[in-house]
Amino acid sequence: MNMVERIKGYFAKKRLRKDHSAARMRQVINLHDARSVAFLYTSTDEATYILVKQFAEKITSHFGTRKTLALAYIPEKEAPSYHTHLLHSDYFTKKDVNWYGYPSCPAVDTFVQEDYDILIDISSGENGPLNYILDRSLARFKVGRTPDGGDYDLIVPTRPGATLDAYLSRIIHILSQINHEKSRIA
């Protein structure tokens, strides 16, 4: 990381602490009880886009979640042709991100203001635009991969050598068991 990136990162983190969403109501919610689930991810290829879309559909069909939305950050200036603004999927690109690394577009503004039951960040590592969204989100239960990524309520680390598909399946398993009446021993 060069000097300019470190300076930008410093000021971005300082402003993020100032803008931190304190109005959030934290609550542990499992997939059986969730009415709304949101996903954050970095879209680098079509396979990731399709996998996240299938993951969201699986949660909707299997757990009866009423509302799902996947928000992708595309680290390019233009979105690839396979990305479309759909009802349950949206995106923002590098050109929607300011000098500090903060996204500014209607899709992000809407996403941040929505009170999701569960927010699942499936991006890997430090990602300024997604960290900004994660921190500003009013979601009740935030799940992510690494403690470096953001202010998570639950960290589900990636197993060494695990594929994204395996990781997503692990998240489904954990979030369907956590705080669920049927999984408790009587």
The more confidently predicted of residues 17 and 31 is 31
Of 6-15, 52-61, 120-129, 174-183, which has the strongest mean pLDDT? 52-61
pLDDT band at 159, cuts 50/70/90?
confident
Spatial distance between the Cα atoms of 50 and 30, rounded to a whole number of angstroms: 24
pTM score, whole prediction: 0.84
145 phi/psi in degrees, rounded to 5: -90, -45
Q: Which of 125, 134, 164 is nearest to 39 (CA)?
A: 134
Does the pLDDT at position 8 exceed 70? no
Could you give all domains of the chain from N- to C-terminal order, each with its CATH number? Answer: 3-180 (3.40.50)
pLDDT tens-place string over residues 142-154: 999 877 656 889 9
Cβ atoms of residues 73 and 92 within 8 Å: yes
Residue 13: pLDDT over 90: no
pLDDT at 71: 94
